[in-house]
Structure formats: structure tokens, C-alpha cells
């Protein structure tokens, strides 16, 4: 792996025509995209998510995760919670990764965990509302229904495909914790309050500025820091009253573990996405936007498949997919491919895939990505046929 990386960097440095204007704009957009990502998503999205993941890993017992989200948990409960989580956590595909890694490493079943992984960014209530307002009610409704069904179907299929491996994993987890005390270290209401407070901090700290300066979302945006600051004070009080120094140290170590595992891969993926495709809304990447628009016109199987592939690999900051698709529709993009991109894009990205691979391994990551792409393609094809 290291040799391949070194070889790839060498070949790029040797052969890439640095003086070509297209390459220079792509490099500049690559750096601008990384800066934009760091400014808009790291402090108020990823950092709270890493702390939540660390808390899940330290303070939620293995038995609790196995009970509600494990392979033997009630399927209706586990998949129901996982599939609608995005309406509560308005996060992007990168921010959901630490949360996914936290519950999966604590013993959550592959099915519920991957349903959560997809639903977290895909069923974003604000994004769906924006889709309906900008792209039409029909497109917004199709996106909402498609995302909920996707999360359930993907979770069930992942669990079925890797049933044998998941059974072995569940048996190992049960054996490792056999005979241990299943009680929580502290009352459940304290753990729930502590993690719930951090979730609220994540939601309001990352509250995006709406395009229209009116309505409920704008009102919340105007006061979101007045909500976050008291929540931080409450969190500090909880830590002071309920936790000792050793527990806080374990929490910090777990948080850093997730950060060290995920952050470098995210940065590498953002750089690569910026170089290939440019900043969202620009035509500065190595791959011209005109090529993409030409390939996603109409409602052919090829157009829907290509839209799904582009959506799967391109990085979309939360809510940016809507104006991008609005522009592509104006350039001749079909309604079917537009929905396919909406269903594949927010839930996947190249940075996202790199991190998922580090948690699930190559085989499960490939299957997860293929399921998203295939389902987005077929859904776009059906929708485009009826929507005209």
C-alpha cells in the first residue's frame, strides 16, 4: 500500500503538466475546497461528532448497543431508529462517519449500522425541504421517500449478504463480554442526557445559513449560538458532577482515536475530489462540467448510472447539492438522473468511502457503494419515466 502511494505520487509529479491552465485551476480549487471544508465543517460539524463518537465508545456499554442495535435486536426497533436518524441529525456524509464508527465498533449489527450510515446525511430534513422549494415538491417528496426506503433496503441487504461474517462477529462480541456486568457505569438517564446534549450542540452549532432570510430556519440560525452556549455550560456541569478525571481521560483518548483514524482520510479525499471536479458550482476541475452535463441528459440507463457514479464520488457539503443540480437541470440534465444524483450524492463521497473502508474493510465497503449506486440508478430511471 505504501509502495503504491509513493509510486502514484512520483508518477503524478513526473507526468502531470503543471503549466497547463486547467491543471493550475484544478490545483487551486483543490486547495480552496480544502480550506472551505476546514472553515465550514471541521470545528462545528466534525469536532462535536468526534466527541460524540468517543462518548459512545467509552460510556455506552456493549450490552446496550447489542440490545438495541445488535444482530439479535428487534429488527423493527433497530432499523426504524437507524432509518429515520437523519431527520434528527442534520449532518453531511463526512460528519456521520465518526458516529457510525462509534456504534459499529461497540457491536451494532451491520444492517442497522449501514442503515444509519446512509440515512444520517440522506434524510436531512432541511435538505429535503430545500429540495422541494427549489426543485419542486415532486422532487422533494421523491427524495424523501427514496432515502427512507434506501436506508432500510441497504441495511437489510448488507446484513443478509454478510450474514455469516456478522454471526461470527456477534458470537465473538458475546463471548468477549460473557459473564461481565451488563449494568451501565452510571444511570441510563445520565448517559442519555450527556450524549443528547452533545447531539444538540452538534445540530445547532452546525446550523447552516439558509438562502432566504425569512422563516423558521432563518430564525433559528439567528439565535443558534444563543442555544449552543448554554448547552456547552450544561455539558460542562454534567462533566463536573457526573464524571471523574479517569473517565474524562478515557473519553479524550477515544475521541482522539477516531480523529486520527478519520481526519487524514477525509482531507485526502477532499483534495482529490477538488482536483478532479473542482469546487461545487465551478468548472475548474480536471473533468469539465460540460462533459458531465452531456452525459446526464435525458433519462437513459446510462445517464442515470453516470449521475449515480458522479454523485457517489463527488463531495457535497450539506445543502450544496441542491443549487448544483438546479444548475445542471438548467443545462439539460434529466429529472431521473437528477434524483439519482440526489440519492447517491449526499450519502457518499470519495472521502467518505476511504473512511468506511477503514472501518468495514474492502469487501463490505464495495458492496455498500454498489448498492447505493445501483438503487439510485434504478430509482432515477423509474422516476424519470413517470416524471417526464
Query: What letter does residue 209 receive in the DSSP assignment?
Result: P
Q: For residues 320 and 40, is the Cβ–Cβ distance under 8 A?
A: no
Chain centre to alpha carbon of residue 28:
25
26 vs 7: CA distance, rounded Å: 21
140 vs 332: CA distance, rounded Å: 19
Q: Which residue has the higher pLDDT, 13 or 370?
A: 370
Q: Strands (DSSP E) along 147-211, which ranges?
A: none
pLDDT at 237 over 80: yes
Q: Which residue has the higher pLDDT, 213 or 60?
A: 213
Task: Using a pLDDT cut of 70, give the percent of the chain over it.
Answer: 84
pLDDT at 231 over 80: yes
Q: For residues 338 and 325, is the Cβ–Cβ distance under 8 A?
A: yes
Tell me which residue of 345, 304, 352, 351 sits closest to 321, measured CA to CA.
345
| CA 280, 283, 285, 286 torsion-angle sign | positive
265 vs 327: CA distance, rounded Å: 30
Q: What is the pLDDT of residue 64?
A: 65
Q: What is the pLDDT of residue 376?
A: 92
Could you tell me which residues come within 8 angstroms of residue 118 by beta carbon, excluding any fewer than 6 positions away? 147, 150, 151, 154, 155, 347, 372
pLDDT band, residue 63 (cuts 50/70/90): low
pLDDT at 87 over 70: no
Tell me which residue of 218, 201, 219 sits closest to 210, measured CA to CA.
218
Amino acid at each position: 500500500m505504501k509502495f503504491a502511494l509513493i509510486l502514484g505520487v512520483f508518477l503524478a509529479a513526473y507526468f502531470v503538466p503543471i503549466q497547463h491552465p486547467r491543471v493550475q485551476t484544478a490545483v487551486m480549487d483543490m486547495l480552496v475546497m480544502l480550506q472551505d471544508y476546514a472553515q465550514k465543517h471541521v470545528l462545528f460539524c466534525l469536532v462535536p461528532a468526534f466527541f460524540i463518537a468517543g462518548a459512545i465508545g467509552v460510556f455506552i456499554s456493549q450490552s446496550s448497543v447489542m440490545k438495541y442495535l445488535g444482530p439479535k435486536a428487534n429488527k423493527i426497533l433497530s432499523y426504524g431508529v437507524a432509518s429515520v436518524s437523519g431527520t434528527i441529525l442534520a449532518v453531511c456524509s463526512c460528519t456521520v462517519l465518526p458516529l457510525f464508527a462509534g456504534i459499529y465498533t461497540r457491536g451494532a449489527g451491520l444492517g442497522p449500522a449501514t442503515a444509519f450510515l446512509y440515512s444520517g446525511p440522506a434524510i436531512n430534513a432541511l435538505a429535503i425541504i430545500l429540495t422541494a422549494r427549489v426543485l419542486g415538491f415532486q422532487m422533494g417528496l421523491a427524495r424523501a421517500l427514496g432515502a427512507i426506503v434506501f436506508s432500510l433496503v441497504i441495511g437489510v441487504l448488507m446484513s443478509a449478504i454478510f450474514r455469516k461474517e456478522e454471526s461470527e462477529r456477534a458470537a465473538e462480541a458475546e463471548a468477549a463480554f460473557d459473564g461481565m456486568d451488563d449494568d451501565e457505569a452510571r444511570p441510563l438517564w445520565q448517559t442519555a442526557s450527556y450524549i443528547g446534549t452533545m447531539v444538540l450542540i452538534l445540530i445547532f452549532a452546525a446550523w447552516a445559513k439558509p438562502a432566504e432570510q425569512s422563516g423558521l430556519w432563518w430564525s433559528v440560525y439567528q439565535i443558534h449560538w444563543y442555544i449552543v452556549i448554554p448547552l456547552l455550560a450544561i455539558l460542562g456541569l454534567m462533566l463536573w458532577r457526573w464524571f471523574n478525571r479517569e473517565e474524562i481521560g478515557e473519553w479524550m483518548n477515544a475521541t482522539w482515536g477516531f480523529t486520527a483514524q478519520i481526519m487524514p482520510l477525509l482531507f485526502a479525499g477532499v483534495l482529490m475530489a477538488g482536483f478532479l471536479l473542482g469546487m461545487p458550482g465551478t468548472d475548474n476541475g480536471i473533468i469539465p462540467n460540460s462533459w458531465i452535463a452531456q452525459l446526464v441528459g435525458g433519462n437513459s440507463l446510462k445517464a442515470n448510472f453516470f449521475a449515480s457514479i458522479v454523485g457517489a464520488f463527488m463531495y457535497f457539503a450539506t445543502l450544496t447539492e441542491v443549487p448544483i443540480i438546479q444548475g445542471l437541470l438548467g443545462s439539460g440534465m434529466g429529472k431521473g438522473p437528477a434524483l439519482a444524483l440526489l440519492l447517491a450524492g449526499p450519502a457518499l463521497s470519495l472521502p467518505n468511502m476511504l473512511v468506511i473502508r477503514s472501518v468495514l474493510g474492502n469487501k463490505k465497503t464495495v458492496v455498500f457503494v454498489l448498492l447505493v449506486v445501483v438503487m439510485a440508478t434504478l430509482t432515477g430511471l423509474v422516476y424519470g419515466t413517470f416524471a417526464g
